[in-house]
Amino acid sequence: MKKTLLIGLPAVVVLLLVFFGQELVDLYRLQAYLTESEEQYQANKGAWPHLTDACEACHGRNGSSLHQGYPSLAGQPEAYLATQLRNFANGDRENPNMTPLAMTMSEEEIQLYAKFFARQPAKDNRYFEADVQNRERGETLAESGGCAGCHGDRLMGQGPFPRLASQGYDYLLNQLDAFAEGERNDPTGMMNSLAAGWSPEDRKAIATYLAGLPTE
């Protein structure tokens, strides 16, 4: 009986491979892919629960927004992200979505969010096509305004100053308008002064230039 089973088992395996060979191979590959993806996910985001998943609806996967009206958080300086979350929490900066969310965060969670998004690679704004004339005008205005002095080389952000390159056009324009109208305040007063000195058309040109600026 035992000998019969030993002889029959390989035959069954062979039959399974003949009839379901490709399906079994595909199933193995899928399992390997899922395992590898889960390992990468855990390495990037840490152990469950992953609090940062809640941000994807507005800010995109790993903080790379696909919507022109929501900012990308990926690649933003850690200090800037933490400061903005505190500003939302204490009312220094207002937003109907972010204010109530930030108010529920502990300092430990603020640091978690800031560290996570700061280490994500910044991606280009691939869904925005910049008008050439407006882009060139915006570049001239950004250079004359000395934007790189605060926002760093290629306007990728540094310290308390945010990455502007490849942010969403609508978001950039809304922030420039908010600074110009005093609805958002810069502690140094620099952004309020600059934005107020630019005309609405100037601000549109600058937003166009920044939205189309590559991250590399």
Burial call 162-171: b when 16+ CB within 10 Å, e when fewer: bbbbbbbbeb
Q: Which residue has the higher pLDDT, 41 or 65?
A: 65
Residue range(s) defining the domain that contains residue 25: 1-48
pLDDT for the residue 182: 95
Total structural domains within the chain: 2
pLDDT for the residue 213: 96
Is residue 111 domain-shared with residue 174, that is, in the same domain?
A: yes
**How far out from the chain centre does Cα 129 lie?**
19
pLDDT for the residue 54: 85
Is residue 71 domain-shared with residue 170, that is, in the same domain?
A: yes
Is residue 15 domain-shared with residue 120, that is, in the same domain?
A: no
pLDDT for the residue 53: 87
pLDDT for the residue 3: 52
SS3 48: coil
Is residue 18 domain-shared with residue 124, that is, in the same domain?
A: no
Q: Does residue 216 lie within any of the structural domains?
A: no
Is residue 21 domain-shared with residue 121, that is, in the same domain?
A: no
Is residue 132 domain-shared with residue 61, that is, in the same domain?
A: yes
Q: 47-93, pLDDT tens digit by residue?
A: 544 678 889 999 999 999 999 999 999 999 999 999 999 999 999 99
Q: 172-193, pLDDT tens digit by residue?
A: 999 999 999 999 999 999 999 9
Is residue 35 domain-shared with residue 84, that is, in the same domain?
A: no
Q: What ranges in 46-165 are assigned the alpha helix state H?
A: 56-59, 78-90, 98-103, 107-118, 132-144, 147-151
- CA separation for the pair 12, 75 (Å, rounded): 54
Q: Does residue 25 lie within any of the structural domains?
A: yes
Q: Does residue 61 lie within any of the structural domains?
A: yes
The pTM score is: 0.78
Q: Does residue 193 lie within any of the structural domains?
A: yes
pLDDT for the residue 48: 44
Longest dimension (CA), the chain: 94
Q: What ranges in the chain are assigned the alpha helix state H?
A: 2-45, 56-59, 78-90, 98-103, 107-118, 132-144, 147-151, 169-181, 190-197, 200-211
The mean pLDDT of the chain is: 86
Is residue 43 domain-shared with residue 114, that is, in the same domain?
A: no
Q: Does residue 194 lie within any of the structural domains?
A: yes
- CA separation for the pair 2, 7 (Å, rounded): 9
Is residue 85 domain-shared with residue 143, that is, in the same domain?
A: yes
Average pLDDT rounded to a whole number, residues 86-108: 95
Is residue 66 domain-shared with residue 35, that is, in the same domain?
A: no
Q: Which of 9-23, 60-74, 129-143 has the lowest mean pLDDT?
A: 9-23
- CA separation for the pair 52, 180 (Å, rounded): 32
Which CATH number covers residue 81? 1.10.760.10
